C-alpha cells in the first residue's frame, strides 16, 4: 500500500523535506507557468519569463541573508562536491597554501580534493575526538600568506555545528554551508566565499548556491577551463550555460516560503525549538539515548545519537520506520541514528519524534 504524505515524518538528510506550500505552488504552476502556456521546464533559459524567475531567486536570497552588494550570488551545478575542487582551482595559486579545518567527513573530503590541486595544510582538526566537537577559536590557526581558510559550518554526518566563526583577518574565510545555510542570520562580510548544495535547506538537488566577494573572484586563476571559473558565471549572472532552471525556480519558491515565515531569524528560532525537543529527550533519558556530539558543538540541523545497545538501536530504527519516521538511520559511514531537522521539517514532526522516543524508552528501557 502506498503512503500518503500525512503518513510520513520526513527526517531525510538530503535531499530532504521541502515546504508543502512550495510544492503545492509548483504543482499549481507545473503545466502552465504564469500564463506562459508552458512549464518552467519547457522554457528557454533566455526567455523573459525565466529571467524574472532567476532574478527574483537571487534578489530574495540577497534579501534573506542580507548579502552585501560587493558579493556575487551564483547558481551553479555539480553540488557542493564540485565546490571542493572549484575553490582551490580558482583560489589556490602556486606557491600559496590553503588551510583547512577538519571537523568530519565533509571537511575531509574538501581537504582531500584540494590536495589534488595545490599545497594545503590542516589548520585545526578534531579527528582525535572522533569529530564530536568543533575546535575552539584559539585552536584555529591561519598564517598571513594563506590563500584562504576553509571550514564546514555544519557537519551533516557527525551532527556538529560552528556556533561562532573564526575571525581570519585578511585571510579569506571559505565555508561549506550546505546543511545549515538559511537556518540562522549571518554576517556575510566575515566570508570570502560561501557555498551550499541546495538539497538540504534551500530546495531540490541540482543547484548549488555560491556567494563570493566580487573583488576576490576577480583575482582568481584564469588558466583553468572557463566553465570552472567563478568569474565566468559571475559575468554571465549564472547564465553562461543552461542553468538547472526548474531547481532554481523551486529554490525561489522555498525562499518565498522562508520570507513568509519571517525570514532567517524565524528559521533560527524554530530550529532552536526543534533541536531542544530532541536533545531534551536524549539528555533526560538517563543514558538510554546517547548524543554523539559534545553539547557545546551540537548541530541544530542534524541530531545524531545512538541507543544503549546495538540491539535496541536496531529495534528503535525498525519501529520508527513502521511508525512513519523516515530517514533516521545514521549515515552509512558511521551508523547510529540521525534526525535531520532542516527548515522545512515542522515543529510537529519533531514533537511526534520526541514523543515516539519517550514512548520507546518507556516500553524498552
Write the CB contacts of 279 (distance below 8 Å, at least 6 apart in sequence): 291, 295, 298, 303
Shortest Å, Cβ 152 to ligand PLP = 5
Nearer to ligand PLP, 178 or 285 (CB): 178
Please give the size of the binding site for ligand PLP, defined by CB under 6 A.
Answer: 12
In the complex, minimum distance from the CB of residue 13 to ligand PLP, in angstroms, rounded to a whole number: 7
Angle subtended at Cα 271 by Cα 270 and Cα 274, rounded to the nearest 5 degrees: 85
Q: Which of 161, 178, 245, 271 binds ligand PLP (CB under 6 A)?
A: 178
Cβ–Cβ under 8 Å, residues 219 and 93 = no
Q: Which is nearer to ligand PLP, 81 or 214 (CB)?
A: 81
What strands, in cross-sheet order, belong to the sheet with 193-197?
Answer: 71-76, 208-213, 193-197, 173-176, 149-152, 97-102, 119-125
Catalytic residues: 106, 176, 200
> Is there binding between residue 106 and ligand PLP (CB under 6 A)?
yes
Among positions 43-82, residues that touch ligand PLP (CB under 6 A) are 79-81
Of the two residues 131 and 356, which places its CB atom closer to ligand PLP in the complex? 131
The upper half-sphere exposure of residue 59, i.e. CA atoms within 13 Å in the direction of its Cβ, equals: 7
- In whole angstroms, the minimum distance from the beta carbon of 70 to ligand PLP comes to 25
Q: b/e map of 247-271 (b: 16 or more CB within 10 Å)?
A: bbbbbbbbbbbbeebebbeebbebb
Element (H, E) at 275: helix 263-283
Q: Which is nearer to ligand PLP, 208 or 361 (CB)?
A: 208
List CB contacts of 225: < 8 A, sequence separation 6 or more. Answer: none
Residues 4-33 within binding reach of ligand PLP (CB under 6 A): 14
**Cβ-based neighbour number of residue 350 at 10 Å:** 23
Q: Does 152 bind ligand PLP (CB under 6 A)?
A: yes
Kindly state the smallest distance separating residue 4's Cβ from ligand PLP, in Å: 28
> What is the per-residue binding string for ligand PLP in 198-217, x denoting contact by CB under 6 A?
--x-----------------
Kindly state the smallest distance separating residue 11's Cβ from ligand PLP, in Å: 15
Asked if 161 interacts with ligand PLP (CB under 6 A), we say: no
Cα 147 from Cα 326, distance rounded (Å): 42
φ/ψ of 345, rounded to 5, equals -80, 125
Answer yes or no whether residue 327 interacts with ligand PLP by CB under 6 A: no
**CB of 73 closer than 8 Å to CB of 211:** yes
159 binds ligand PLP (CB under 6 A): no
The window from 125-133, 174-182, 254-262, 336-344 that contacts ligand PLP (CB under 6 A) reads 174-182
Q: Tell me the torsion sign for CA atoms 214, 218, 221, 222.
A: positive
- Residue 176 touches ligand PLP, criterion: CB under 6 A: yes
**At its nearest, how many Å lie between ligand PLP and the CB of residue 194?**
12
The Cα 210–Cα 218 span in angstroms is 15
The contact set with ligand PLP (CB under 6 A) reads 14, 79-81, 106, 152, 156, 176, 178-179, 197, 200
Amino acid at each position: 500500500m502506498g503512503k500518503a504524505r500525512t503518513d510520513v515524518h520526513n527526517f531525510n538528510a538530503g535531499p530532504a523535506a521541502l515546504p508543502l506550500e512550495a510544492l503545492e505552488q509548483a504543482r499549481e504552476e507545473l503545466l502552465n507557468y504564469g500564463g506562459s502556456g508552458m512549464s518552467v521546464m519547457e522554457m528557454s533559459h533566455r526567455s523573459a519569463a525565466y529571467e524574472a524567475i532567476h532574478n527574483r531567486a537571487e534578489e530574495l536570497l540577497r534579501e534573506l541573508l542580507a548579502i552585501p552588494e560587493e558579493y556575487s550570488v551564483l547558481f551553479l551545478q555539480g553540488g557542493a562536491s564540485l565546490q571542493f575542487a572549484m575553490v582551490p582551482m580558482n583560489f589556490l595559486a602556486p606557491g600559496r597554501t590553503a588551510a583547512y579545518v577538519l571537523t568530519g567527513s565533509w571537511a575531509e573530503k574538501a581537504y582531500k580534493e584540494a590536495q589534488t590541486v595545490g599545497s594545503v595544510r590542516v589548520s585545526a582538526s578534531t579527528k582525535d575526538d572522533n569529530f564530536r566537537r568543533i575546535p575552539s577559536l584559539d585552536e584555529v590557526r591561519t598564517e598571513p600568506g594563506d590563500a584562504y581558510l576553509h571550514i564546514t559550518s555544519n557537519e551533516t554526518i557527525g551532527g556538529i555545528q560552528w556556533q561562532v566563526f573564526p575571525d581570519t583577518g585578511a585571510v579569506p574565510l571559505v565555508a561549506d554551508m550546505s546543511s545549515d545555510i538559511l537556518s540562522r542570520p549571518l554576517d556575510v562580510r566575515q566570508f570570502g566565499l560561501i557555498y551550499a548544495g541546495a538539497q538540504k535547506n534551500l530546495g531540490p538537488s541540482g543547484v548549488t548556491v555560491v556567494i563570493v566577494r566580487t573583488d576576490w573572484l576577480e583575482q582568481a586563476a584564469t588558466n583553468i577551463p572557463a566553465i570552472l571559473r567563478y568569474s565566468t558565471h559571475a559575468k554571465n549572472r549564472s547564465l553562461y550555460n543552461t542553468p538547472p532552471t526548474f531547481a532554481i525556480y523551486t529554490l525561489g519558491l522555498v525562499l518565498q516560503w522562508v520570507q513568509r515565515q519571517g525570514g532567517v531569524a524565524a528559521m533560527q528560532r524554530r530550529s532552536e525549538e526543534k533541536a531542544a525537543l530532541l536533545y531534551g529527550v536524549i539528555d533526560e533519558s538517563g543514558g538510554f539515548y546517547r548524543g554523539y556530539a559534545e553539547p557545546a558543538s551540537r548541530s541544530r540541523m542534524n541530531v545524531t545519537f545512538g541507543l544503549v545497545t546495538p540491539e535496541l538501536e536496531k529495534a528503535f530504527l525498525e519501529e520508527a520506520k513502521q511508525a512513519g519516521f523516515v530517514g533516521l538511520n545514521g549515515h552509512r559511514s558511521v551508523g547510529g541514528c540521525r534526525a535531520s531537522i532542516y527548515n522545512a521539517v515542522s515543529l510537529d514532526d519533531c514533537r511526534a519524534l520526541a514523543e515516539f522516543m519517550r514512548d520507546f524508552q518507556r516500553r524498552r528501557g
